[in-house]
Amino acid sequence: MPTSRASVAVPTVVAIAALIALVAPAAFPAAARPNEVPAPPAAPPTLAQAAVRIRGESIATGGAWTKLAWLTDRIGPRLSGSPGADAAVAWALQELRRDGMTNVHGETLMVPHWVRGEETVAIVAPVARPVVAAAIGMSVPTPPEGITAEVIETDSFEALAALGDRVKGTIVLFNKVTPAHIDGAGYGANGGLRSRGPSEAARLGAVAVLVRSLGTLRARLPHTGSLRYLDGVPQIPAAAITEEDAERIHRFIAAGETVRVRIVLGCRTLPDVESANVVADLPGRERPSEIVLIGGHLDSWDLGDGAVDDGAGVVAALETLRLLKQLGLTPRRTIRAVLYMNEENGSRGGRAYAAAHKDELDRHVAAIESDSGAGRPLGFRVLAGPGAADAVRALAAHLAAAGSSAGAADVAEHAGVDIDPLRIGGVPLLGLRQDSTHYFDWHHTMADTLDKIDPRELAENVAAMAFMAYALAESPEPLPRLPAGASKTP
C-alpha cells in the first residue's frame, strides 16, 4: 500500500536553499568539481559472492512471504476468467511498478471461462452414503436430474479396454493410488487417467466417470484438475472423488456387490474472456536485448487459494527482480519476469507469450519456471543443448557453497508447462526442483492455502531462482541451445 508521508511546512527560501544544497553536487558534478576524475564503476561481485548476498537477503527480508500472503488471503482463488484472476493481474502489475521494474505491462489473451456449480455425488446401493467429490475442470454438466448408474472399476486404460461391452451404460471409476515421491513421479504416472479418462471411457459407452483423486494424503479431500475431451468422442461428465470414498466403493465391488452411484454436476463452460500475462524487466547493463526469463503461473484452481500451486512460483519471480534491484546486482543481460495466465485449464498463457515474442526468441538465452510448490529446493531440471546440465551444475555449486540445498542439475525431458512452447525457438529451459513429497497432499484442493508454505523454505526457493537467473544473465557465454523446434531432449 502507498506509504503516507506527513507534510511539513517550510519557508520557501529555506526550502529551496536546502534543496539546492542537497542536489547540486549530485546533479551537477562537472560544474561543482571540474578537476575531479570520475571513479571507475565498481566491478561486479563474483558469482560466489552474489550467491551469499542473494541468499542472505532473501532469508532476512522474507519479501516473498509478504507478497504471497496478500495474493492468497486477499485475492484467493484465481481460475482463468474469474474476478480473482482479474484482481491478480492488477495486483501483480501494481507490485512490479512499486518495486521499480521497467517495461511493466500486461499482454492480453483470450482464456477459457469454466465455472463450478452444484456437485452432489452419492452411493445409492448397496447402501446410501455421501461421496465427497469435485467436478474435474472443463467437465460438461450432468442433466439437471443427474445420472444414476452402476459403477465399474478399473485402474488403467488397458484394463478398461479389456472390459469391452461391460462398460456401456456404466459410470467408470478410475481407481489407482498416487504414491508420494520426492520428485512427484506418482502424479505424472496417473495424470492421464484424469485428463484422458473421460474420453477413453466414453468410447466404450460409459455415461460418466469418477476418478480417484490424484493426491497423496488421506484427508478426504477431492483434488480437481483439468480434462481434455478428444475429438469425435462423446463428452461425458467427470468428477474426482476422495481416496477414502474410492476405497469404500472398491470394497463393495470386491465383495461382489453391485454399486450404484448418483452424480449431479452443474458446471458449465461460458464464452472465452480476455485476460493477460504479466511481464516486467530488470534491464541488463551490457546486453539488455538478451533475456533470461523467469516465471510461474498466476492462475489457480477455484477450490483453494493457490498458495502451493502456483502462488509460490509467482512470488519467487516477483521477489527475484526486487532482490536483485535492492542489492544492486545488475547482470549483463535483462532478466524478465512473466506471470502466465491459464496454465491450469488450457495452457494458453505459455503459448501466447511464445507466439507474441516469436521474432525475439533467439535473444531469449534461458527460461526458468517454478511450478512445484515451495518445498525445500533441490536444484534444477535442464532441457537444453549438450553440456548445458553440466554448466548449470557448475553455477548451482555456488548456491550449495552458500548453504543452499539447490546445488543439483539434471538433464530432463520437461522443465515446465508455461515455458515449454519456447522450445520452438531453441531456448534453454530450466525447472526449479523442489521436494515434492507433500506437494500433492494439497495441490488442486480447498486446502491449498498459505499455512501449507514454510516461510524459510519459500525464501530458499526465491534465493535459488534469483541466483540462477542472475548467474545465467551474467555469464559471458550463454547455455547451449536446443535445436530450433525441438520437441524433446537431444
Full pLDDT tens readout for the chain, 490 residues: 443 333 333 333 333 233 223 333 333 333 334 455 666 667 889 999 999 999 999 999 999 999 999 999 999 999 999 999 999 999 999 999 999 999 999 999 999 999 999 999 999 999 999 999 999 999 999 999 999 999 999 999 999 999 999 999 999 999 999 999 999 988 989 999 999 999 999 999 999 999 999 999 999 999 999 999 999 999 999 999 999 999 999 999 999 999 999 999 999 999 999 999 999 999 999 999 999 999 999 999 999 999 999 999 999 999 999 999 999 999 999 999 999 999 999 999 999 999 999 999 999 999 999 999 999 999 999 999 999 999 999 999 999 999 999 999 999 999 999 999 999 999 999 999 999 999 999 999 999 999 999 999 999 999 999 999 999 999 999 999 998 666 543 3
What is this structure's pTM? 0.90
Output the pLDDT for position 2: 41
**Catalytic residue numbers, as ranges:** 343
Residue type at 377 in one-letter notation? P
Grid-cell match 459407452, residue found: 205
Residue-wise DSSP of 222-242: ----B--PPTTS----EEEE-
What are the phi and psi torsion angles at 58 (to 5°)? -65, -45
pLDDT at position 204 is 98
- Rounded Cα distance, 314 and 318, in Å: 6
Contacts for 338 with CB less than 8 Å, ≥ 6 apart: 277, 278, 279, 293, 294, 295, 317, 353, 418
Q: How far apart are CA 6 and CA 75, in angstroms?
A: 30
489, three cell numbers? 531432449
Start-end of H helices in 213-347: 243-254, 312-327
Take residue 90 and report the three cell numbers written for it: 492488477
Strand order in the sheet with 102-115: 102-115, 268-282, 333-340, 287-297, 364-369, 429-434, 377-383, 408-411
In this predicted structure, what is the pLDDT of residue 18? 36
Q: How far apart are CA 221 and CA 48, in angstroms?
A: 44
Q: DSSP string covering 184-206, please?
A: -HHHHHHHHHHHTHHHHHHHTT-
Q: Residue 465: its pLDDT value, please? A: 98
Half-sphere exposure of 431 (CA within 13 A, CB side): 20
Dihedral of the CA atoms 479, 485, 489, 490 (nearest 10)? -80
Q: In terms of Cα–Cα distance, which of 448, 466, 387, 380 is closest to 416?
A: 380
* pLDDT of res. 14: 32
The whole-angstrom separation of Cα 40 and Cα 53 is 23
Cβ burial of 150 (10 Å; 0-12, 13-18, 19+) is middle
**201, 153 contact by CB (below 8 A):** no
The pLDDT, as a whole number, for residue 15 is 34
Nearest to 371 by CA among 427, 300, 268: 300
* Cα–Cα separations (whole angstroms), residue 303 to 135, 222, 254: 11, 10, 32
Q: Tell me if 60 sits within 8 A of 273, measured CB to CB.
A: no
Going across the sheet that includes 238-241, the strands are 129-131, 119-125, 260-265, 147-154, 171-174, 208-212, 238-241, 133-135
Structural domains in the chain, CATH included, are: 47-111+271-474 (3.40.630.10), 117-266 (3.50.30.30)
Kindly report the length of the chain: 490
Helix axes 455-474, 388-401, angle to 10 degrees: 130
Closest by CA to 449, choosing from 54, 3, 69, 156, is 69
Could you count the other beta carbons within 10 Å of the beta carbon of residue 256?
Answer: 6
Cα 308 from Cα 444, distance rounded (Å) = 9
pLDDT value for 40: 62
- Give the integer Cα–Cα distance in Å for 80 and 77: 10
What single letter denotes the amino acid at residue 438? H
Crossing angle of helices 312-327 and 83-98, in 10° steps, is: 10
Measured distance CA(261)–CA(273) in Å, rounded: 35
d(CA 384, CA 292): 14
DSSP 3-state of 435: coil
Check: CB of residue 162 under 8 Å from CB of residue 193. Answer: no
